[in-house]
Structure 1
Amino acid sequence: MDNEEIKLLLVKYITREADESEIDQVRDWVNAHPENEQYFAQLYETWQNILYLQPNVVNEEKAFDKFSALLVPQETKYRWLIKWSKVAAIITLFGVLSVVLIKHYSQNVQSIREVSANNGGIKKIILTDGTLVWLNAGSKLNYSTDFGRKNRTVYLEGEAFFEIAPGKKTIPFIVNTKNYTIRDIGTKFNLKAYPNDPFFETTVLKGEVAVEGNIDNNAREMSRIYVKPRQVLRIYYRPQKEKYTYKSDDIQELKTLNEIQVLQVDSAKMNKYDGWKEDLLVFDGNTLDEISKVLERRYNVKIVMDDPVLQNIRYSGSFKNVATIDKVLNLIKGNTAIKYSIAGNTVTITKNNN
């Protein structure tokens, strides 16, 4: 098969338009060489990103342009003029493919399932491929109705813990968030991407994940970063006043990206990142502003704390199966200069000057 034939087969396979014979051809081609497998995975992730990041507002023409751009090598203007016949062939090919892609897109938009965990609750679900997912309070997970058959891609807003079931190489497990895409290379990881938090965070307990900026984000371009067991990757959406550094032979790119923080975590302290699914809250030098966001979601309240000095007070402590926010704040008050009042679902925190 020449390049144009395999491109057509790959697109038909990814968009579920291939017949049994074409599916076998794609699988043989993918398994023939590691570079083929890598190319297929990149192509698959690109199409899934387009579908899942903003399924209700994606412009079909724009989506196809982005997808086809991956297939067409960049050429100089002069070389394009020389190869006018090849250009014509590619344009014809993509004209045919666009019909297939847009048809698939219109079907996919109407077949999205959503699972959510409201503030004050945690939800555990089992996906059709056997993957276990715990959703933290104030989170939602979207996936297509044919998940597990020809795709294993989900979209997360909020926080979730994933225990990935084994799958075929041709169907990678992918998690899309607003700004970043995570590809699972292992089995267990926590992912935090709340829209009102100024950072993205993933923590790997077992295996490995790859993280990269998605195709539509407005953030600075980044290289793919691999996060290993007992590592935490945190990416701030905008530059912070403090600069974080991490010296590692594994991730050289971090030297020039001061908004990226990677930490190696002792196994005894991993519950700070995944303990929430067992109703455990762990704070290790977090500011009251950071803590308030966690407590708002966990106890379904609104916390008012207008003093910037108060917001930056740091606190360390852990809470297991604490039923009310009143008990949590009472314990925090014992070690910090704060006082609080509760009226309905509104909590007001002020300084304690006594």
Structure 2
Amino acid sequence: MDNDEIKLLLVKYITREANEQETDQVREWVKAHPENEQYFAQLYEAWQNMMYLKPEIIDEEKAYQKFLSTIPQETKYRQLYRWSKVAAVVALFSVLSVFLIRHYSQNVKSIRIVSVNKGGIKKIVLTDGTLVWLNAGSKLNYNTDFGKKNRTVYLEGEAFFEIAPGKKTIPFIVNTKNYTIRDIGTKFNLKSYPNDSFFETTVVKGEVSVEGNIDNNNREMSRIYVKPRQVLRIYRQQQKEKYTYKPDDQTTKELNEIQVLQIDSANTDKYDGWKEDLLVFDGNTLDEISKVLERRYNVKIIMNDARLQNIRYSGSFKKIATIDKVLSLIKGNTDIDYTINGNTVTIIKRTN
């Protein structure tokens, strides 16, 4: 890909206009070199800052309507939709580029990346005194000047934050792929793995605000507050829609299902117990459990029957070193069997 192509793909990815193939291309490009990852983080920070300060600048629909207003009435057909989207994306990149030019050249080498391999947990202390626990398969990025002019971090995966007191004039912000979380309290857990179908935050103490495209059916709902002992979970679902003027043409629309749960202070282990090497499942499906176990024990889990994914299980595991022990306990209460070959686990339906 040439430079212009990757720029267009990056902006389409950040604005969630990229299709599956384009998304894969961006992820491969970001992984290819540390400088690519740093550039992406800078671009994403610019996008988030502009969303917060001047959302009208990046309102894609407004850009589209403005584009249409410059076209003679007789040419305003729906087939221009796609091209106008591209124009809006290109215009957006131009705006972002102006914003970045003052920052990127100075900060391209100023990003710290803390990552945790599958099977591990890491605890770090940020320069402002904030404690962060990173779960397996997670990554945290932040600038080396963190705590001076900003307290912004970028999370992919799961982390528990215990925000340091003070620095109230500089808000603590966590950016994830789809949402921005602003701390108004002290202790909260965030879960935003790219291969999970949901985003989740659990507030143990204090309060946070979650900002972004929360409700697709209500554009006014761009922020929701999560209070102590509340869990906010946003499921991402995709629905294909056909254009009425051309039935064979389809577009994918993302629909969000929002859940807010009140939990007892004694039951927060289900959401943050992982930092103490505790796994708690409360009626979770085997599909959900397998994702957790894959990250915790650095394995690949295969199920030969799709119906197995919907089996539900409740149980807790404290400091269990091997996945074999976990699965043997699950097997004792469900109709499953399993085999382990190296790092590959195959779960099958029990036949007897």
Query: What TM-score, normalized by structure 1, do the two folds share?
Result: 0.68
Q: Give the one of 41, 51, 64 matched to 1:55.
A: 41
Gaps of 5+ in 2: 1-36, 67-95, 240-254
Counterparts of 1:33-52 in structure 2 under 5 Å?
none
| Matched residue type, 1:163 | E
Q: Give the one of 292, 295, 298 matched to 1:294.
A: 292
Contact 1:159 1:194 in 2 (8 A): yes
Q: Which residue does the alignment assign to 1:170?
A: 169
Contact 2:132 2:159 in 1 (8 A): yes
CA distance in 1, matches of 2:45, 2:126: 29
The answer to whether residue 323 in structure 2 is matched with residue 325 in structure 1 is yes
| Matched residue type, 2:161 | F
Contact 1:55 1:109 in 2 (8 A): no
Are residues 168 and 134 of structure 1, via their aligned partners in 2, closer, same or farther at CA, if it must alter by over 3 Å?
A: same
User: What's the RMSD between the two structures over aligned residues?
Assistant: 3.5
| Matched residue type, 1:54 | F
Contact 2:270 2:279 in 1 (8 A): yes
Are residues 295 and 219 of structure 1, via their aligned partners in 2, closer, same or farther at CA, if it must alter by over 3 Å?
A: farther
CA distance in 1, matches of 2:257, 2:124: 33
Q: Which has the higher strand share?
A: 2
Q: Which residue does the alignment assign to 1:160?
A: 159
CA distance in 1, matches of 2:162, 2:173: 13
Q: Which residue does the alignment assign to 2:310?
A: 312
Counterparts of 1:9-48 in structure 2 under 5 Å?
none
Are residues 63 and 309 of structure 1, via their aligned partners in 2, closer, same or farther at CA, if it must alter by over 3 Å?
A: closer
Q: Shift in Å at residue 188 of structure 1? A: 0.1
Q: Which residue does the alignment assign to 2:266?
A: 268
Counterparts of 1:240-251 in structure 2 under 5 Å?
none
Q: Shift in Å at residue 269 of structure 1? A: 1.1
Q: Which residue does the alignment assign to 2:113?
A: 114
2:103 aligns to what SS in structure 1?
Answer: helix
The answer to whether residue 335 in structure 2 is matched with residue 337 in structure 1 is yes
Contact 1:64 1:101 in 2 (8 A): no
CA distance in 2, matches of 1:63, 1:213: 9
The answer to whether residue 233 in structure 2 is matched with residue 227 in structure 1 is no
- Identity rate of aligned residues, in percent? 77
2:132 aligns to what SS in structure 1?
Answer: strand
Q: Give the one of 259, 277, 282 matched to 2:275.
A: 277
Q: Shift in Å at residue 169 of structure 1? A: 3.2
CA distance in 2, matches of 1:181, 1:100: 19
Q: Which residue does the alignment assign to 1:136?
A: 135
Q: Shift in Å at residue 173 of structure 1? A: 0.1
| Matched residue type, 1:146 | D
Query: What TM-score, normalized by structure 2, do the two folds share?
Result: 0.68
Q: Shift in Å at residue 306 of structure 1? A: 3.4
2:129 aligns to what SS in structure 1?
Answer: coil
Are residues 53 and 329 of structure 1, via their aligned partners in 2, closer, same or farther at CA, if it must alter by over 3 Å?
A: farther
Contact 1:283 1:317 in 2 (8 A): yes
Are residues 297 and 193 of structure 1, via their aligned partners in 2, closer, same or farther at CA, if it must alter by over 3 Å?
A: same
Contact 1:302 1:347 in 2 (8 A): yes
Q: Shift in Å at residue 164 of structure 1? A: 0.2
Runs of at least 4 residues of structure 1 off by over 6 A?
A: 62-68, 97-100, 217-220
Q: Shift in Å at residue 308 of structure 1? A: 1.8
Q: Give deviations 1:103-124, integer Å, cap 9, x for gaps.
A: 2233233311100111000000
Gaps of 5+ in 1: 1-50, 78-96, 241-256
CA distance in 2, matches of 1:351, 1:63: 46
Q: Give deviations 1:65-113, integer Å, cap 9, x for gaps.
A: 87884588x9xx9xxxxxxxxxxxxxxxxxxx98675222332333111
Are residues 52 and 224 of structure 1, via their aligned partners in 2, closer, same or farther at CA, if it must alter by over 3 Å?
A: farther
Q: Which residue does the alignment assign to 2:103?
A: 104
CA distance in 1, matches of 2:173, 2:236: 21
| Matched residue type, 1:301 | V
Q: Shift in Å at residue 64 of structure 1? A: 9.8
Q: Which residue does the alignment assign to 2:3?
A: none
Q: Which residue does the alignment assign to 1:208?
A: 207
| Matched residue type, 1:55 | A
| Matched residue type, 1:152 | R
CA distance in 2, matches of 1:64, 1:231: 27
Larger Rg: 1
CA distance in 2, matches of 1:148, 1:281: 33
Q: Shift in Å at residue 56 of structure 1? A: 6.2
